[in-house]
Chains A and B, each alone.
Chain A
Amino acid sequence: SPKQRGRKRNRNCRRHALYVDFSDVGWNDWIVAPPGYQAYYCHGDCPFPLADHLNSTNHAIVQTLVNSLNSNIPKACCVPTELSAISMLYLDETDRVVLKNYQEMVVEGCGCR
C-alpha cells in the first residue's frame, strides 16, 4: 500500500507513555508494590501560535510570540501541568513495611510553560 505522504506528524507538545519498571532502576528489592507504574512524560513543540489545548501561561504565550520575532529567545517548554499521586508499599531502612502516598508521580496533562 502506498505510504502516507503529505500528512505531517503532530510533533506538538503532548503526553507520551513512559512505564517505569522498578526492577530496571534496581529498586525492586525494597519496593513491594507496585512492580512499576505508568509515569508518562511530556514532549513536543510549543509552536507559534500556541493552541488553546496546550494549556499555556500568559508568560509562555508572550515568550512564543517573541520567539517568532527573535529566534535567540527560545520557545516555551513542554512540561507537565497536572500530576497525580501513586501509593507505594515498601520496606524501609529498618525492614519495616510502609504504605505511602507519593504526590506528583504521574503526568496527567502536559502544556507549554
Chain B
Amino acid sequence: ESSHASLIPEEGKKKALGNHPGQSHELLRDFEATLLHMFGLQSRPRPSRSAVVPQYLVDLYRLQSGEVEEAEGHDVSFEYPEKSTSRANTVRAFHHEEHMEQMPSDRTYSIETPLRFFFNLSSIPEDELLSTAELRLYRQQIKELGLESQHVGNGDLHRINVYEVLKPPRPGQLITRLLDTRLVSHNTTSWESFDVSPAVLRWTHERLPNHGLAIEVLHLNRTPGHQGKHVRISRSLQHNSEGDWDQLRPLLVTFGHDGKGHPLTRRTKR
C-alpha cells in the first residue's frame, strides 16, 4: 500500500534503508517532498478507473512534443493554440460536475433555455497564473433528409451563446453575462472553442464565487427535428451514442504558468 502512496519505488526505499539506517525515513520523506514539489503535486496521484483523458489534450501533447506535425496529423482536428500556449507552461482540462448539472424546471423548460454547467477549478494551485481559458463544445453535423436539404441559408444556422452565471441560480431565473457567441452552420462536425477567460480569471485570480457557465443553443430556423441535436452539451442528447459522451462532452481548458521555466513552445519533429 505504501508503494501506491509514494513516488519512490520500494526498491529505492530499501536501498536508502541500507545506506542510511538511522536517518533514512527522514531522508526519504524529504526526497518524496522534493519529487512532489518538482511535479507540482500535493500527493501521489492515484487515478481512478473512471478517469478520462480528453483527446484534445492528447493531441495538444502530440503537437507540442513534435510527435506529429499539424499537417500530417490528420486526426488532429484543431490548430495548435500558439497564442494561449505562448504564455503558459501548464494546460489543465476539466469536465463539468454532472451531479450539479441543473436542468431548468419543467415549468420554464424549453430546448433553448440555457443549461448551467459547473466546473470545479479548485485543483488549480494558487501560484499558477492563468492567462486564458477556453470552453470547447462538440457539434455534430445534422444530415439533411428529404426536401429540407434544398434549403440553404439561415435554416442551417445555430447560434451558440456562452454566459457566466453571476448569481446563485433560482428556479426559472438565471442572472448571466455573455462571454462569447458564435453563429455556426450545422452541416459540419467540429469542436468549437469559446473564450471564457474573463469568468475563469474572476474565479481564480479575484477569488469571486464560481456559479458556473450557461450554454444556450438557438436554432435560427427552429426546425423541430433539429432542435437540440447539433451541439453536444447534454448526455441524453444522442440516445444511440451514450458511450462517446466521455470524449464529446463540454471541456474547459485552462492555460497557466506556475512561474517555473519556459512556456509550451512547440518542438519540431526531428
Q: A91, B40: Cβ atoms under 8 Å?
A: no
Contact of A95 with B48 at beta-carbon distance under 8 Å, contacts A32-B53, A89-B61, A101-B262 already known: yes
Contact of B261 (CB < 8 Å), options: A91, A92, A94, A102: A102
Interface SS of chain B: loop
Q: A33, B45: Cβ atoms under 8 Å?
A: no
Which residues of chain A are near B9, meaning CB under 8 Å? 24-26
A98 to B40, CA, bound (A): 11
B228 at the A interface (CB under 8 A): no
Shortest distance from the beta carbon of A23 to any chain B beta carbon, whole Å: 11
Q: A92, B41: Cβ atoms under 8 Å?
A: yes
B113 at the A interface (CB under 8 A): no
Shortest distance from the beta carbon of A22 to any chain B beta carbon, whole Å: 11
Which residues of chain B are near A25, meaning CB under 8 Å? 7, 9
Q: B61, A30: Cβ atoms under 8 Å?
A: no
Q: B92, A30: Cβ atoms under 8 Å?
A: no
A97 at the B interface (CB under 8 A): yes
B218 at the A interface (CB under 8 A): no
B151 at the A interface (CB under 8 A): no
Contact of A97 (CB < 8 Å), options: B46, B53, B264: B53
A25 to B58, CA, bound (A): 22
Give the interface of A toward B (CB within 8 A). Answer: 24-27, 29-30, 32-34, 85-87, 89-104
Known contacts A34-B65, A87-B61, A95-B45, then 11 further A-B pairs from the complex at CB < 8 Å, ordered by chain A residue: A25-B7, A33-B61, A85-B262, A87-B65, A89-B57, A92-B45, A93-B46, A96-B93, A98-B93, A103-B262, A104-B261
Give the interface of B toward A (CB within 8 A). Answer: 3, 7, 9, 38-48, 50-54, 57-58, 60-62, 64-65, 89-94, 123, 260-264
